Amino acid sequence: MPLIRNSHGKGHVRIMRVKRDSARHEVRELTVEVLLTGAFDASYTEGDNSSAIATDSVKNIINILARDNVGAENEEFVQIIARYFLDRYDHVSGVTVTATETKWARIAIDGAPHDHAFTLDGNGRPLVKLVATREASTLSSGILGFTFLKTTQSGWENFWTDDVTTLKPTADRMFATAMDAEWTWSSVPASYADANAAVLEAALKVFATTYSPGVQNTMYLMGEAVLAAVPEIAEISMACPNKHYLPIDLSPFGRAFDGQVFTPTDEPHGQIACTVGRG
């Protein structure tokens, strides 16, 4: 039975590149697949892997090239990946590189785009909830999966440690979350749409402009700001999964981590929730 065609490589390699050579950071989050064709038939038909490039090595190459090309446009980056394989491995005859981008838009603070704080494009699903009886009703508005991040001005230090603690403290990390929030109305605003927009504007201003010692403190400050901005709201509840961007250790390849290349992951994630109301 002839082997008609074959390919192998690595799929779903998630990579966040942060260009931070100035105060204004640029972020590019990609999910990359690299598939190789060439003289690999024997690994299929004979069990001879001597020519097969390990898929883990393919992943490492993607990470290395991301670190070495943090500022490359996506179209340039996929060409860099393909060229690497074709130049380095004579027995590779073809490379297919597919990269899909998770788009981030700068948060506008007082009308000006922020240097290092972003929201996900096409962001969030608005919701409303009414709990009603014949005697009374409670109306809430909110948003699900409202996703935002910043590339610096966030840390996690001085937390409880004991014999099961492995996490290292840091004063500079990425902070990303997909927030579910719900706020309860105590009176009718002039415009629900304008008031809902003011909720997000107030919350994001705190997020972008305030150093975060932890998700917990930032959520509380966001809640305070929302209640100050929209007097018709009685309380706001927020749940924020801590979507991790993990530093990629490229020290085996002679490259130090300097806050430029991360692996995005949200499983498992920290889950933090709070409700802030009026005294």
* Residues designated catalytic: 10, 55, 244
Q: Which helix (H) or strand (E) covers residue 128, if one does?
A: strand 125-132
CB half-sphere exposure, 78, CA atoms < 13 A = 16
Rounded to whole angstroms, the Cα distance separating 143 from 146 reads 6
Rounded to whole angstroms, the Cα distance separating 112 from 9 reads 43
- As beta bridge partners, residue 244 has 265
Q: Which residues lie closer than 8 Å to 223 by C-beta, 6 or more apart? A: 203, 236, 238, 274, 275, 276
Pick the closest to residue 263 from 4, 17, 10, 5 (CA basis): 17
Rounded to whole angstroms, the Cα distance separating 253 from 69 reads 15
Q: Which helix (H) or strand (E) covers residue 35, if one does?
A: strand 26-38
H helices, E strands: number in the chain: 5, 10
Rounded to whole angstroms, the Cα distance separating 63 from 106 reads 25
Q: Are 207 and 146 in contact (CB under 8 A)?
A: no
